[in-house]
A and B are shown apart, each in its own frame.
Chain A
Amino acid sequence: MTIGLVLLLGLAAGILVGLLGIGGGIVLVPAMVHILHLDQHLAQGTSLLVLLPPIGLGALRQYWKAGNVNLRAGILCAVGMILGAYIGGKTAVPMSSQLLKGLFGGFLMFSAVLLWIRARPAAPASAALQEDGA
């Protein structure tokens, strides 16, 4: 694996992230598996490492300025995610690479459907359950 190829891959994945507003991992993991030929576990662990720094900070500022942030909900989600990620890692690590690869494929299809739904022009979501932080 050449250093140049990895740098380029990061750049390409970054462009997709900025362009489509999707997470880096969903692009990075398949790219590492199919282009860099990393094992499924290794690709996932490496992707998690890449996602540790707060890369969304710039984007968050834009949403914050527009008043589109529910801070309380965001913090609660983060707390839940720390716990969930522990459970998820505990489940995935002892699995066979084969099974994990298959599950990831299913997850890709599921995410594709969610992405498709989100691409609808204007989503008129009801704000019924949404509390207002004034």
Chain B
Amino acid sequence: MTSITLTINGERRTVNVPPMKRLLDVLREDLHLTGAKEGCGEGECGSCSVLISRDGGPAELTNSCLVPVLQAEGAQITTIEGLAPADAAKLHPIQQCFLEHGGAQCGICTPGMVLATHHLLAKYPHPTLPQIQEGLAGNLCRCTGYMRIFEAVEAAAGASKAGKPGP
């Protein structure tokens, strides 16, 4: 067991876990943050996506199933639970757009899709369709057929254009 401190959704947390434990399992089992889902366990489906930044650097979309928790020591991690401001009763604009455009059905892929969209819009505030497709290529959805997700992303880009940027 190793004592590992990381910052999750703005809060410093310390866990005592084996250093090779997957970040995904630490989030779900030790920290009871079950928003990140396990789909494939091999970095192909994106349902375990989280955002990780280090030393104030840019938040990088990451498959938490492929991260040994020791590598996340000292990092700042945002999960779907932390995307909307904690004191806000509202959803994050990206979440709201997924809701309004039918971009979420069964919900397994949705946390990853929303975080991948957040990462995409940080890079390209007004993405083209190919940029959206590339940005979400690592997130698989078995329900929507993707078109409604693309519409939700376009709406979210429009929402930030209209002066409602995400945090």
Query: A and B bound?
Result: no
